[in-house]
Amino acid sequence: MNLPKRMLVANVAWAQEIARRDPHFFDTLAQGQRPQVLWIGCSDSRVPAESVTHCSPGDLFVHRNIANLFDPADDNSMSVLEYAVAVLRVKHIIVCGHYGCGGVRASLMPPAPHLPHVNRRIRPLCDLAQAHRPELDGIAPEQARIDRLAELNVIAQVQRLRGHAVVARSESPPLVHGWIFSLANGQLRELASGYESVSATPNFEPALKPA
Ligand SMILES: [Zn+2]
């Protein structure tokens, strides 16, 4: 059986299992969505939003792209944010990066000639790396340097989101949080809490231990 076929078969089993546990689950699902969280994460296959947080269909409104970037000039990012805040009225926005991020690693290397779209996409990350060049240059192991930039990137997206008019001028602005996921142990770490952002300064400490 080919992979897509296996996935379709697995879907049938999944739907039956959910319905067996909760006969009304799909009726409720079909009536509409009321997620409380907008998740902005990396496209990396190893960081599936619902799986790592034990969430269910209907819990998260999700936007994923390479290196979990929020780009106000990108209609994809902006339309998701606008809909989440203005229509769904989410209470939280979670930016989730991860250690070992390929997009972050790429931003510290020369542009790959065969990846023009990726190069353009991660341009803000290259600028961020440049802005933190002294600190990053002082981190010797390459992986630790990449992981530190992954943290700085999460913080940068959090700040950008908190300052964006769609969030800041909302009737009831959602709280914006910054998390990072460790592939090494499957755990999330909070880099910035929306509950402690009154001054718009993320609650951020240097990395305890890159994973
Ligand atoms: Zn990534």
Are 98 and 72 within one domain? yes
Contact 85, 174 (CB under 8 A): yes
pLDDT, tens digit, 9 for 90 and up, residues 64-112: 999 999 999 999 999 999 999 999 999 999 999 999 999 999 999 999 9
> From CA 134, how far away is CA 142, in angstroms rounded?
14
* Closest to 81 (Cα-Cα) out of 200, 192, 204, 176: 176
Q: Ligand 1 center to residue 200 CA distance, Å?
A: 25
Are 126 and 192 within one domain? yes
Domain that holds residue 65: 34-196
Q: Which residues are catalytic?
A: 42, 44, 46, 98, 101
Total structural domains in the chain? 2
Which tokens hold the place of 22?
């909760």
- The conformation of residue 85, written as its DSSP 8-state character, comes to I
Are 126 and 46 within one domain? yes
Q: Ligand 1 center to residue 42 CA distance, Å?
A: 5
The set of residues, in sequence order, having a beta carbon less than 8 Å from that of 56 and lying 6+ positions away, is: 50
pLDDT, tens digit, 9 for 90 and up, residues 138-167: 999 999 999 999 999 999 999 999 999 999
Residue 70 is assigned to a structural domain of this protein? yes
Which tokens hold the place of 36?
């409380």
SS3 category, 7: helix
Residue 208 is assigned to a structural domain of this protein? no
Residue 23 is assigned to a structural domain of this protein? yes
Are 39 and 15 within one domain? no
- This prediction's pTM: 0.92
